[in-house]
Structure 1
Amino acid sequence: MNTSRGRGRTWRGAALAVLLASGALTAAAPDASGAGTRTETPVVSTHPADGVTESVVRVKVPLPASFGARPAACDWLSYLRYRSAGGPQVSADADRILMAQPGILEGAGAFDSVARQTVAKAAAEGRHIEFWALDRRSNCLEDRTGIASGDQHAAVDYYYRGGQVDGRTFGGFVGNDRLGWMAKLGIEQTVRDEYDLLVHELPDQGLRERKVLCGGHSLGGVITGYFAAADFDGDPATTADAGQNQCAGYFALDTTVSTSLADLSGSIPDDTDLPDIGLGYAAVQAGLDTGLLSRSLSAPVLLNPETMTLLAIAGMGAVADPDGEADLPAYLPSNVNIEATNRFLFSKDTAAFLTGSPGVKDFRLTNAAVLGALMDDNSVPLAFLQSSVGLFDGGPVTDKNFPAANGSSQPTQLFGVEYKAIPAQPHGPLYTWRDYDRVGDADDPGYRSADGTPFTGAGKEVTDIQELARSLAEQPLDFTEQYFPTKLVTDIQLATSPQVRRLVVHPEGLTARPTLTVLAGDGLLAGRVPADLHPVVAAGYQHLDVLTAAPVQNDGRPEPVSSSLTAFARSPH
Structure 2
Amino acid sequence: MNTRLSTGRTAKALRSAALAMLLTTGALTAAAPDARGESARTETRVASTSPVAGVTESVVRVKAPLPVSFGARPAACDWLSYLRYRAADGPEASADADRILVAQPGILEGAGAFDSVARNTVARAAAQGLHIEFWALDRRSNCLEDRTGIASGDQHTAVDYYYRGKQVDGHTFAGYLGNERLGWMAKLGIEQTVRDQYDLLTAEVPDQGLRKRKVLCGGHSLGGVITGYFAAADFDGDRATTADAGHRQCAGYFALDTTVSTSLADLSGSIPDDTNLPDIGLGYGAVQAGLDSGLLPRSLSAPVLLNPETMTLLAIAGLGAVQDPGGEADLPRYLPSNVNIEATNRFLFSEDTATFLSGSPAVKDFRLTNAAVLGALMDDNSVPLAFLQSSVGFFDGGPIADKNFPVANGGSQQPGLFGTDYKAIPDRPHGPLYTWRDYDRVGDPDDPGYRSADGTPFTSAGKEVTDLQELARSLAEQPLDFTEQYFPTKLVTDLQLATSPQVKRLVVHPGGLTANPTLTVLAGDGLLAGRIPADLHPVVADGYQHLDVLTAAPVQNYGRPEPVSTHLTEFARAPK
Tell me the TM-score normalised to structure 1 length.
Answer: 0.94
1:231 correspondence with 2:234 = yes
| Structure-2 separation of matches of 1:336 and 1:105 | 22
Residue 273 of structure 1 aligns to a residue in which SS? coil
Q: Which residue is equivalent to 2:430?
A: 427
Q: Which residue is equivalent to 1:191?
A: 194
Q: 1:428-469 CA distances to partner (integer Å, 9 max, x unpaired)?
A: 000000000000000000000000000000011000000000
Q: Which residue is equivalent to 1:497?
A: 500
1:284 correspondence with 2:287 = yes
Q: Which residue is equivalent to 2:91?
A: 88
1:547 correspondence with 2:550 = yes
Correspondence for 1:394 among 388, 393, 397: 397
Q: Which residue is equivalent to 2:381?
A: 378
Q: Which residue is equivalent to 1:241?
A: 244
Q: Which amino acid aligns with 2:354?
A: A
1:201 correspondence with 2:204 = yes
Q: Which residue is equivalent to 2:570?
A: 567
Correspondence for 2:157 among 150, 154, 178: 154
Q: Which amino acid aligns with 1:308?
A: M
Correspondence for 1:450 among 437, 446, 453: 453
| Structure-2 separation of matches of 1:39 and 1:420 | 45
| Structure-2 separation of matches of 1:167 and 1:505 | 49
Q: 1:370-426 CA distances to partner (integer Å, 9 max, x unpaired)?
A: 000000000000000000000100001000000000012233400001000000000
Q: 1:532-556 CA distances to partner (integer Å, 9 max, x unpaired)?
A: 2100000000000000000011111
1:64-463 alignment, distance < 5 Å? 64-463=67-466
Q: Which amino acid aligns with 1:329?
A: P
- Residue 527 of structure 1 deviates from its aligned partner by 3.0
- Residue 270 of structure 1 deviates from its aligned partner by 1.2
- Residue 316 of structure 1 deviates from its aligned partner by 0.3
Residue 488 of structure 1 aligns to a residue in which SS? helix
- Residue 34 of structure 1 deviates from its aligned partner by 5.9
- Residue 528 of structure 1 deviates from its aligned partner by 1.9
Correspondence for 2:490 among 468, 487, 490: 487
Correspondence for 1:524 among 527, 533, 538: 527
| Structure-1 separation of matches of 2:421 and 2:268 | 19
1:439/1:403 CA distance change after superposition, 3 Å: same
Correspondence for 1:54 among 53, 57, 61: 57
- Residue 572 of structure 1 deviates from its aligned partner by 1.3
Contact 2:524–2:545 (CA under 8 A) maintained in structure 1:
yes
Q: 1:11-50 CA distances to partner (integer Å, 9 max, x unpaired)?
A: xxxxxxxxxxxxxxxxxxxxxx964310000001111251
| Structure-2 separation of matches of 1:265 and 1:236 | 33
Q: 1:162-190 CA distances to partner (integer Å, 9 max, x unpaired)?
A: 01101110011111100000000000000
Residue 56 of structure 1 aligns to a residue in which SS? strand
| Structure-2 separation of matches of 1:49 and 1:111 | 14
Q: 1:468-499 CA distances to partner (integer Å, 9 max, x unpaired)?
A: 00000000000000000000000000000000
| Structure-1 separation of matches of 2:168 and 2:432 | 35
Q: Which residue is equivalent to 1:27?
A: none
Contact 2:523–2:540 (CA under 8 A) maintained in structure 1:
yes
Q: Which amino acid aligns with 1:92?
A: A
- Residue 266 of structure 1 deviates from its aligned partner by 2.3
| Structure-2 separation of matches of 1:445 and 1:369 | 16
Q: Which residue is equivalent to 1:44?
A: 47
Q: 1:72-121 CA distances to partner (integer Å, 9 max, x unpaired)?
A: 00000000000000000000000000000000100000000000000001
Q: Which amino acid aligns with 1:359?
A: A
| Structure-1 separation of matches of 2:52 and 2:462 | 27
| Structure-2 separation of matches of 1:358 and 1:35 | 59
Q: Which amino acid aligns with 1:423?
A: P
Residue 558 of structure 2 aligns to a residue in which SS? coil
Residue 492 of structure 1 aligns to a residue in which SS? helix
1:537 correspondence with 2:574 = no
Residue 263 of structure 1 aligns to a residue in which SS? coil
- Runs (5+) with no aligned partner, structure 1: 1-32
Q: Which amino acid aligns with 1:563?
A: T
| Structure-2 separation of matches of 1:275 and 1:166 | 39
Q: Which amino acid aligns with 1:271?
A: D
Name whichever of 177-186 and 404-413 sits farther off: 404-413
Residue 206 of structure 1 aligns to a residue in which SS? helix
Residue 261 of structure 1 aligns to a residue in which SS? coil
- Residue 161 of structure 1 deviates from its aligned partner by 1.0
Q: 1:187-241 CA distances to partner (integer Å, 9 max, x unpaired)?
A: 0000000000000000000000000000000000000000000000000000000
Tell me how large the CA RMSD over aligned residues is: 0.9
- Residue 142 of structure 1 deviates from its aligned partner by 0.2
| Structure-2 separation of matches of 1:192 and 1:496 | 20
| Structure-1 separation of matches of 2:293 and 2:248 | 38
- Residue 526 of structure 1 deviates from its aligned partner by 1.5
Residue 84 of structure 2 aligns to a residue in which SS? strand
Contact 2:415–2:528 (CA under 8 A) maintained in structure 1:
no
Residue 555 of structure 2 aligns to a residue in which SS? coil
- Residue 510 of structure 1 deviates from its aligned partner by 0.3
Q: Which residue is equivalent to 2:12?
A: none
| Structure-2 separation of matches of 1:127 and 1:491 | 39
Residue 147 of structure 1 aligns to a residue in which SS? helix
Residue 425 of structure 2 aligns to a residue in which SS? strand
Correspondence for 2:480 among 474, 477, 480: 477
